[in-house]
Protein backbone atom coordinates (compact mmCIF):
# COMPACT_ATOMS: atom_id res chain seq x y z
CA UNK A 1 0.00 0.00 0.00
CA UNK A 2 1.13 3.55 -0.56
CA UNK A 3 2.69 5.40 2.40
CA UNK A 4 -0.29 7.74 2.66
CA UNK A 5 -2.83 4.90 2.62
CA UNK A 6 -5.32 4.05 -0.09
CA UNK A 7 -6.74 7.60 -0.14
CA UNK A 8 -3.53 8.88 -1.78
CA UNK A 9 -2.42 5.78 -3.73
CA UNK A 10 -0.41 6.51 -6.88
CA UNK A 11 2.13 4.48 -8.84
CA UNK A 12 4.12 5.79 -11.74
CA UNK A 13 4.02 3.79 -14.96
CA UNK A 14 7.21 2.03 -15.97
CA UNK A 15 9.86 4.23 -17.56
CA UNK A 16 10.21 1.86 -20.53
CA UNK A 17 6.47 2.09 -21.25
CA UNK A 18 6.51 5.87 -20.90
CA UNK A 19 9.45 6.13 -23.32
CA UNK A 20 7.91 3.74 -25.84
CA UNK A 21 4.51 5.46 -25.83
CA UNK A 22 6.11 8.92 -26.03
CA UNK A 23 8.23 7.88 -29.01
CA UNK A 24 5.33 6.13 -30.75
CA UNK A 25 2.90 9.02 -30.33
CA UNK A 26 5.64 11.48 -31.26
CA UNK A 27 6.36 9.57 -34.49
CA UNK A 28 2.61 9.33 -35.16
CA UNK A 29 2.30 13.11 -34.72
CA UNK A 30 5.30 13.70 -36.98
CA UNK A 31 3.92 11.55 -39.81
CA UNK A 32 0.44 13.05 -39.57
CA UNK A 33 1.33 16.76 -39.36
CA UNK A 34 4.78 17.00 -41.01
CA UNK A 35 4.97 14.00 -43.39
CA UNK A 36 7.37 15.74 -45.78
CA UNK A 37 9.98 16.14 -43.00
CA UNK A 38 10.17 12.45 -42.04
CA UNK A 39 13.41 10.72 -43.22
CA UNK A 40 11.61 7.52 -44.31
CA UNK A 41 14.69 5.94 -45.94
CA UNK A 42 16.65 6.09 -42.67
CA UNK A 43 13.96 4.36 -40.60
CA UNK A 44 14.10 0.94 -42.25
CA UNK A 45 10.87 -1.09 -42.27
CA UNK A 46 9.10 1.43 -40.02
CA UNK A 47 9.92 4.20 -42.50
CA UNK A 48 8.65 2.10 -45.41
CA UNK A 49 5.38 1.41 -43.61
CA UNK A 50 4.97 5.05 -42.59
CA UNK A 51 5.69 6.27 -46.12
CA UNK A 52 3.21 3.79 -47.58
CA UNK A 53 0.53 4.90 -45.11
CA UNK A 54 1.17 8.58 -45.80
CA UNK A 55 1.05 8.13 -49.59
CA UNK A 56 -1.82 5.65 -49.86
CA UNK A 57 -3.92 5.89 -46.70
CA UNK A 58 -3.37 9.34 -45.23
CA UNK A 59 -7.00 9.72 -44.11
CA UNK A 60 -6.74 6.45 -42.15
CA UNK A 61 -3.52 7.70 -40.54
CA UNK A 62 -5.04 11.09 -39.73
CA UNK A 63 -8.27 9.66 -38.29
CA UNK A 64 -6.33 6.97 -36.43
CA UNK A 65 -4.25 9.68 -34.78
CA UNK A 66 -7.33 11.42 -33.38
CA UNK A 67 -8.94 8.10 -32.41
CA UNK A 68 -5.80 7.21 -30.45
CA UNK A 69 -6.03 10.46 -28.49
CA UNK A 70 -9.78 9.94 -27.97
CA UNK A 71 -9.04 6.50 -26.52
CA UNK A 72 -6.44 8.03 -24.21
CA UNK A 73 -8.97 10.64 -23.09
CA UNK A 74 -11.61 7.97 -22.43
CA UNK A 75 -9.09 5.90 -20.44
CA UNK A 76 -8.18 9.00 -18.43
CA UNK A 77 -11.82 9.73 -17.57
CA UNK A 78 -12.31 6.08 -16.64
CA UNK A 79 -9.24 6.21 -14.38
CA UNK A 80 -10.71 9.24 -12.61
CA UNK A 81 -13.93 7.32 -12.02
CA UNK A 82 -12.01 4.21 -10.98
CA UNK A 83 -10.21 6.22 -8.31
CA UNK A 84 -13.58 6.77 -6.59
CA UNK A 85 -14.44 3.09 -6.84
CA UNK A 86 -11.10 2.10 -5.31
CA UNK A 87 -11.32 4.65 -2.49
CA UNK A 88 -8.65 7.04 -3.75
CA UNK A 89 -10.03 10.34 -2.51
CA UNK A 90 -6.94 12.57 -2.47
CA UNK A 91 -7.44 15.17 -5.24
CA UNK A 92 -3.70 15.24 -5.99
CA UNK A 93 -3.52 11.48 -6.48
CA UNK A 94 -6.65 11.50 -8.64
CA UNK A 95 -5.20 14.23 -10.89
CA UNK A 96 -1.93 12.30 -11.17
CA UNK A 97 -3.85 9.21 -12.31
CA UNK A 98 -5.91 11.28 -14.76
CA UNK A 99 -2.86 13.00 -16.27
CA UNK A 100 -0.67 9.91 -16.40
CA UNK A 101 -3.43 7.82 -17.98
CA UNK A 102 -4.16 10.51 -20.57
CA UNK A 103 -0.49 10.62 -21.57
CA UNK A 104 0.39 6.92 -21.33
CA UNK A 105 -2.95 5.11 -21.68
CA UNK A 106 -3.17 1.46 -20.72
CA UNK A 107 0.38 1.46 -19.29
CA UNK A 108 -1.02 3.60 -16.47
CA UNK A 109 -4.59 2.33 -16.37
CA UNK A 110 -3.43 -1.27 -15.90
CA UNK A 111 -1.67 -0.27 -12.67
CA UNK A 112 -4.87 1.28 -11.34
CA UNK A 113 -6.97 -1.68 -12.45
CA UNK A 114 -4.62 -4.09 -10.65
CA UNK A 115 -4.71 -2.05 -7.42
CA UNK A 116 -6.59 -3.83 -4.62
CA UNK A 117 -7.31 -1.45 -1.77
CA UNK A 118 -7.00 -2.86 1.72
CA UNK A 119 -10.11 -3.59 3.73
CA UNK A 120 -11.32 -0.74 5.92
CA UNK A 121 -10.91 -1.18 9.65
CA UNK A 122 -13.81 -0.50 11.96
Q: What is the pLDDT of residues 69-117, one digit of tens each?
A: 999 999 999 999 999 999 999 999 999 999 999 999 999 999 999 999 8
pLDDT averaged over every residue in the chain: 91
Check pLDDT > 90 for residue 121: no
Q: What is the pLDDT of residue 8?
A: 84
Sign of the CA dihedral with 12 first, then 16, 21, and 26 last: positive
Q: Are the C-beta atoms of residues 93 and 75 closer than 8 Å to each other?
A: no
CA angle 70, 107, 81 (to 5 degrees): 60
Lowest mean pLDDT among 2-6, 33-37, 57-61: 2-6
Check pLDDT > 60 for residue 2: no
Q: Minimal CA–CA distance to 83: which of 71, 97, 73, 67? A: 97
Amino acid sequence: MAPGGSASFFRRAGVHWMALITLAMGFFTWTVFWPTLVPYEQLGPLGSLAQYMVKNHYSVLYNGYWIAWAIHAAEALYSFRLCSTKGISDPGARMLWLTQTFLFGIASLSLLLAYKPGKKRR
